[in-house]
Chains A and B, each alone.
Chain A
Amino acid sequence: MSIEYERIVHIWKNPPNRGEMKDADLVAEGANPICGDKVRVFLKIKDGKIADASFTGEGCAISIASASLLLDYLKGKKVEEIENVGKEKVMELLELDLSRNPSRLKCALLPLMALKSGKIR
């Protein structure tokens, strides 16, 4: 197994930032019906910045690791930063090149797509 995928599986086993947030300012959901991946992301916002972030959901190793790493990356950043994150950034965070792997790229982008669809309460 590739060292990169091994890292993903390692994260999947005990993903940081997993858990529901009761007092979130933003809750957003995404689903990938093709593979049954489901993710829900929560953001706590303070002074225009992402003070805390978490997620719940079921899915493959890539979608779960992607949620973990993306939220880690966004913590402390301005809310507007979310719009600047694209697939390149997600692949960089995952340390996986999925540019020629469209089906798995969809798994990787699910948490980001969910986040971008969300509205602040």
Chain B
Amino acid sequence: MDVEKIRKDFPILERMVNGKKIAYLDNGATSQKPREVIDAIVRYYSEYNANVHRGVHKLSEESTVAYEDARRKIAEFINASEEEIIFVKNASEALNLVMYSYGMANVNAGDRVSISIMEHHSNFVPWQVLARRKRAKLEILDVGKEGELVGLEKASGSKIVSISHASNVLGTINDAEKICRVAHEGGGVAVIDASQSVPHMPIDVKKMDCDFLAFTGHKMLGPTGIGVLYGKKELLEKMEPFLYGGDMIIEVKKESSKWNALPYKFEAGTPNIEGAIGLGVAVDYLNKVGMEEIRKHEIELLSYAIGKLKDEVTIYGPLDARKRTGLITFNVAGVHAHDVATILDEDGVEIRSGHHCAQPLHDRLGLESSARASFYLYNTKGEVDRLVDGIKKVKRVFA
């Protein structure tokens, strides 16, 4: 994997901030986009913009083919079939779809839904609301000292077990296959929030045996506003639509309507066509580089960064790079994360600070906030060095 060559594909990496070339280390929030993705969106609007699944004219045929082609690429990318890939806005919408269409119909008073304390708000709040509305019990699995999920067996018997594949704060990679097994053994379904894993490692939904898998496009080199819900066909077929309107129907009469086939039953209204096309091209790009290669590169960066940082800052989550995704959340003793981020920004090092949409986890760890550096395929050891230098500067300034 030639990182220097990859970097040339990302125009934004040339951007200067405060007179310095950026070191973009906020990939957990969103990734940058390669020229090919940007060009694909421009080409769509310059050459064949038309609504999909509607016209019979040339442009509409072209846009429909491109949109469906993107679906096929994404299906292959996670080893699903095309009718199991539903385009949504983002992972939050994907998880809300499951909550409303599956959860509301299948969870009753006294039932139990299991999540974990490390969930992003998008995989926390919907289940909290479902439990309240249905008077079900919300069970929140805890984390251990190394940021690992503990007490998974307690989730057995829950109607829904919804847990992230990788934590956006701790970096912990959870054993998704085991989560699914535990959910199934107790007669429930498994929902995996893969927002932080699909961009960074190979994913096979058949091997994982999840019932639903949610992820977003913009964290994996694609545009914003496009996300994916994978669902097992037999479950999706039984579910009621989430949104009603155009394109999701096969026939509309005065009295009632008939729903369209999968996946269109869940895609009401004109979709984000350029988003889907852009995401398809992003998947091509990731395939070209190779997901195994990307994972290896991130483990290398992580090991390097953890080695340099472990005596400088408090790192949260597992210290073994193989147990976490390419991100490091940390705090500098006595300094607020916002101040860390501001001082790093002065040198063009872009990291995230705050609670990263994981307030329950911060409460659990007794933290107000934390700083996070997150890596991707285009990041280098040189950028990690700039991060480390910046942190040393923070410590000097605030000493």
Contact = CB atoms under 8 A, between A and B. Distances in A.
Contacts of A58: 368
Given A61-B336, A62-B338, A104-B338, A36 B343 contact: no
Nearest to B399: A13
Contacts, number: 48
B339 interface: yes
Contacts of A6: 397
Contacts of B342: 5, 104
Nearest to A106: B338
B368 A1 contact: no
Interface in A64-121: 103-104, 107
Nearest to A13: B398
A104 B353 CA distance: 11
Q: Is the interface of B mostly helix, strand, loop or mixed?
A: helix
Given A9-B397, A60-B336, A60-B338, A35 B346 contact: no
Given A1-B346, A1-B397, A2-B346, A36 B355 contact: yes
B343 A35 contact: no
B369 interface: yes
A87 B368 CA distance: 25
Contacts of B393: 1
B318 interface: no
Interface residues of B, number: 18
A62 B393 CA distance: 18
Contacts of B354: 34-35
Nearest to A59: B336
A60 B355 contact: no
B337 interface: yes
Contact of B346 (A5, A33, A59, A103): A5
Contacts of B397: 1, 6, 9
Contacts of A61: 336, 339, 398
10 contacts: A1-B393, A9-B398, A35-B338, A35-B368, A36-B336, A36-B355, A37-B368, A60-B339, A62-B339, A104-B338
Interface of A: 1-2, 5-6, 9, 12-13, 33-37, 58-62, 103-104, 107
Given A37-B368, A62-B338, 20 more contacts: A1-B346, A1-B397, A5-B346, A6-B397, A9-B397, A12-B398, A34-B355, A35-B338, A35-B353, A35-B368, A36-B336, A36-B355, A36-B362, A36-B368, A36-B369, A58-B368, A59-B336, A62-B339, A104-B342, A107-B338
